[in-house]
Amino acid sequence: MKPGDPIQVDFAIVGCGIAGLRAAVEVAQHGTVLVLAKSELSETATEWAQGGIAAVLSDEDEISLHEQDTIAAGDGLCNPEAVKVLVEEGPRYIQQLIEWGTQFDRAGTRLAFTREGAHSRSRVLHAHGDSTGREISRALMARANALPGISFRAYALTTELLLDRGRVSGLRFLDESSGATQDVRAGAVLLATGGLGHVYRETTNPAVATGDGMAIAYDAGAVLTDLEFVQFHPTALCVKGAPRFLLSEALRGEGGILRNADLHRFMKHYHEAGELAPRDIVARAIVAEMHKTGAEFVYLDMTGLDADYVRKRFPRIHATCQTFGLDIATDLIPVRPAAHYAMGGVMTDLLGRTTLPGLYAAGETAGTGVHGANRLASNSLLEGLVFGARAGIAMAGEVHPENKQTAAACASSHGHKRPKVNLHRDNPGHSKHGNNPGHGHPPSPAASGPPPGPFDQIRNILWREVGIIRSGRDLNRALEQLRALDVERPGKLGRAECELHNVWTLAQLITRCALAREESRGSHYRSDFPFPDDEKFRKHSLISRDSKVAFE
């Protein structure tokens, strides 16, 4: 290959978390695979996933119960077929992980299960206490490295998708080591870049979670769905100078309780399930208690449990909190909500196919409808595993037609048509809703006392105006502030510029979708429309580059 020539592969996969790795393993037997990561290969949301992975593998559980729990948490917006796929196929794929060397925690020789919020049974598997994602990543990476045909590129930020007559034919990435861009031509492209938590000032997500896959799919013309549904995890560590480190829901599953600044236990006043209520209810309850007491946090109290058990069960959380002078077994831990998970994303069918031919999405980047308006705890790793595998099967069938029979069999019982939508078109760049946002300048360098740069301004606006409790007034103000930012296409693209563009794009899309949904449902709460409106809004929001928000 001559310098500057495109890299030619059968399959290009953007992201190496659970969805990307599982898809790579699936397609490796059908051709050459290039997996791109914009940072280190291990810097993924999967790597930091603590709580576990939910699946029906116990004799005391039933598939139908997991299905019911998922749909109940989704508050009327789950795609029932997607949920059925998730809960029915999940156990098989987890057994496969075990065969590939994933070491889940056990009680003697039997798998150990824990219970988390809104689950009716103990069905959550964990590994090394609170390092489930890291263990799954280790096993999947080992499996991928053992297969011929898979190559990895770290510090390669995908900046745009390449199209040929309306079909995605590859991608362009920025090689941070050289500062040069490189084209990749591929028979199929999968976006598995994780979430968008860093659109918000307060987030549990790793720094790489700037919504890159969603933003470049939007720029290419793909339809995005349900962006207004951002889950705020109720319990992120709230210590001055500390990152918003996630304190797993499993802590409450094991018996931890929440107390306000006056040390009163409060969750029973908000929901009969108490600390194990759905996440949106717990998050809003914490905000209400913070307002009542004038405090910036509430407390997570594990002191009623055996101290040695707590430290052994949550070694990673214990070690992290210790660095900030806190012992989770004996101290009250200050916590507050933080942006955690995007229920929506790039709209796909049940095989990961987007509205653009040749383009697939899986994991948190995708919007399958499986989570509805509010994700059930520990279903996210399961989604990445199941739908990453299914996307891989479909990609293999598209690139090599002889494999189409396998893809068809995979989808036969659950439907497999590529998503088709009918959106009302606007003139690009002339919509009152602020379509077609461009690129931007990099954030200002850190220094003492300067005003925040545009990256931090965006995150502050979203946290302040488009957070846990929203209103039409605040959302309109957010849109005005976002549009007023001096974010224009720079002369040279670097990682900071690309991430700024992606965050600015998604900030506007989240706000527009939240403004259009004039009801409260799941993680989306409007103080001016505090009740659900099934007649108008028991539908998924849809938005594309040249369209207004629509509901179907």
Active site residues: 279
User: Does residue 506 carry a pLDDT above 80?
Assistant: yes
Give the angle subtended at the CA of 157 by the CAs of 225 and 42, to the nearest 5°.
90
CB 114 within 8 A of CB 124: yes
Q: What is the mean pLDDT of the chain?
A: 90
Most distant CA pair in the chain: distance in Å?
A: 68
Mean pLDDT, to the nearest integer, of 14-32?
Answer: 96
In a domain, 440, yes or no: no
Residue 195, token pair as written in the block: 């979430």
Tell whether the model's pLDDT for residue 428 goes beyond 90.
Answer: no
pLDDT at 406 over 80: no
Q: Which of 38-47, 264-273, 344-353, 372-381 is predicted least confidently?
A: 38-47
Residue 288 and residue 245 share a domain: yes
Residues 296 and 208 reside in one and the same domain: no
Assign residue 533 a region (left: φ > 0; alpha: ψ between -120 and 50; beta: otherwise).
beta
Domain that holds residue 255: 233-336
Burial of 59 (0-12, 13-18, 19+ CB in 10 A): exposed
Q: Decide which of 527 and 419 is more confident.
A: 527
- As a whole number of angstroms, the distance between CA 247 and CA 230 comes to 18
Domain match, 319 and 374 both: no
As a whole number of angstroms, the distance between CA 519 and CA 387 comes to 30
Domain assignment present for residue 546? The answer is: yes
Q: Tell me the HSE value of 31 on the side-chain side, using a 13 A CA sphere.
A: 24
- C-alpha atoms less than 13 angstroms from C-alpha of 494 in its C-beta half-sphere: 7
Please answer whether residues 390 and 410 qualify as being in contact, where contact means their C-beta atoms are separated by less than 8 angstroms.
yes
Helix (H, G, I), strand (E, B) or coil at 232: strand
Question: Among 336, 355, 372, where does a domain finish?
Answer: 336
CATH number of the structural domain spanning residue 545 = 1.20.58.100
Same domain for 142 and 266: no
Residue 199 has pLDDT above 70, yes or no: yes
Structure tokens at 161: 């998708």
| Total-model pTM | 0.90
pLDDT reading at 521 higher than 80: yes
Query: What pLDDT is stored for residue 447 in this prediction?
Result: 38
Whether residue 40 is predicted with pLDDT greater than 90 in this model: the reply is: no
In a domain, 387, yes or no: yes
Whole-angstrom distance, CA of residue 388 vs CA of residue 191: 10
Do 290 and 144 lie in a common domain? no
With a pLDDT cut of 70, the percent of the chain lying above it is 90
Task: Clarify whether residues 107 and 57 are in a common domain.
Answer: yes
Name residues whose C-beta falls within 8 Å of residue 285's C-beta, 6 or more positions apart in sequence. Answer: 234, 258, 266, 267, 269, 270, 271, 277
Grade residue 440 by pLDDT with cuts at 50, 70 and 90: very low
Tally of structural domains, the chain = 3
Check whether residue 150 and residue 67 sit in a common domain.
Answer: yes
Note whether residue 254 is domain-resident. yes
Examine the pLDDT at 50 and tell me if it is beyond 90: no
Burial 292-325 (b: 16+ CB within 10 A, else e): eeebebbbbbbbebeeeebbebbebbbebbeeee
159: domain CATH number is 3.50.50.60
Assess whether pLDDT exceeds 80 at residue 37. Answer: yes
Domain CATH code at residue 269: 3.90.700.10
> Which of 336, 360, 375 is the endpoint of a domain?
336
Say if residues 388 and 511 touch (Cβ distance below 8 Å).
no
DSSP-derived letter for residue 28 is: G
**Same-domain pairing of 12 and 87:** yes
Burial of 335 from C-beta contacts in 10 A (0-12 / 13-18 / 19+): buried
Q: Are residues 142 and 268 in the same domain?
A: no
Q: Is 418 inside a domain boundary?
A: no
Which residues lie closer than 8 Å to 298 by C-beta, 6 or more apart?
A: 258, 259, 260, 261, 266, 286, 289, 290, 334, 335, 336
Contact 127, 105 (CB under 8 A): yes
Residues 126 and 160 in one domain: yes
For the stretch 368-391, pLDDT in tens is 999 999 999 899 999 999 999 999
Mean pLDDT of 9-15: 97
Query: Which of 29, 116, 129, 136 has its CA nearest to residue 384?
Result: 136
Question: Mean of the pLDDT values across residues 118-144?
Answer: 92
Token readout for 331 is 């101290």
The tens digit of pLDDT for each residue in 462-478 reads 999 999 999 999 999 99
Q: Are 69 and 13 in the same domain? A: yes
Where is mean pLDDT largest: 91-95, 252-256, 375-379? 91-95
